[in-house]
Amino acid sequence: MSQDAEFYFPAPRLQKFCSQCATPITRRIPPGDNRERDLCERCGAVHYQNPRLVVGTMPVWEDKVLLCLRAIEPRANFWTLPAGFMELAETLSEGAARETQEEAGVKIKLGGLYTVIDIPHVDQVHVYFLAQALGPELDPGPETLEARWYGFDEIPWDNLAFKSVYTTLKHYLSDRESGEFPTHHYALGGPKH
C-alpha cells in the first residue's frame, strides 16, 4: 500500500481563543495536572482535548464488500469503508449505521463489533462493525463520488484512503477462511505529534 495511506482524518490540536471569553489561549501545565493544556489566563477555563472516535461499517452483499470513493479531503479520490466522526448523543452502533446511510445509502443489518483500532499519533480510535446489506441498492451522499461493490479479489489495495480500512479488510479476508469473525483490537503506529 502507498505511503499516502498513512493519512487520517484531520485532528486539529490547538485552539487559539478561549471559547468562554475569547481571550487568546495559553498552553501550559495547570496546577495539579501533569501535562500541557490549553487554558485561559483571564477566566481560568481549561480546554481539555481528548481522542476522537471514527465509527463505520464493513457492509457485505453476497460475496462483495462495499467501498466508497471519497469526494472530500483528506484522501479525496481514494476508497474507504463508510465511516466518520461519532456525533454527540449517539451510540457507537447508531453512529456506524448513520455514517453508512449518509455515505452509501445502503440498507444494512448491523453485525458485531469487528475492529477497534487505536491510532494514538493522530489522537483517534477507529471502530468498524460487521454489516450485512439487505440489498445491493446504493444511494451515495455528497461526501461520496461513487459507491460500489467490490469482489474480495478486486479490492483496490493501492487506492485505499486509510490504513484502518486496509487492516480491517485484511482481517476480514483472513477470517473468511475460518468462518469466524472475532473482534480485533490493535494499534497503528506512526510518528508522535
Only segment of 37-45, 63-71, 121-129, 140-148 that touches Zn ion (CB under 5 A): 37-45
Nearer of residues 11 and 45 to Zn ion, judged by Cβ:
45
DSSP 178: H
Instruction: Write out the H or E segment, with its range, that includes residue 72.
Output: none
80, 58 contact by CB (below 8 A): no
19 sits near Zn ion (criterion: CB under 5 A) = no
Which residue type is seen at 123? D
Is 15 a residue that touches Zn ion (CB under 5 A)?
Answer: no
Could you say whether residue 187 binds Zn ion (CB under 5 A)? no
Interface region with Zn ion, contact rule CB under 5 A, candidates 27-35, 40-48, 113-121, 137-145: 40-48
Q: How many CA atoms within 13 Å lie on the side-chain side of 164? A: 33
The residue from 39, 40, 83, 155 that contacts Zn ion (CB under 5 A) is: 40
Q: Which three cell numbers stand for residue 185?
A: 483490537
Cβ neighbours around 166 below 10 Å, total? 18
Question: Which of 15, 27, 29, 43: binder of Zn ion (CB under 5 A)?
Answer: 43
Beta carbon of residue 88, minimum distance to Zn ion (angstroms, whole number): 22
# binding residues, Zn ion (CB under 5 A): 8
37-39 β-sheet, strand order: 26-28, 37-39, 46-47
Question: Is residue 46 within the footprint of Zn ion (CB under 5 A)?
Answer: no
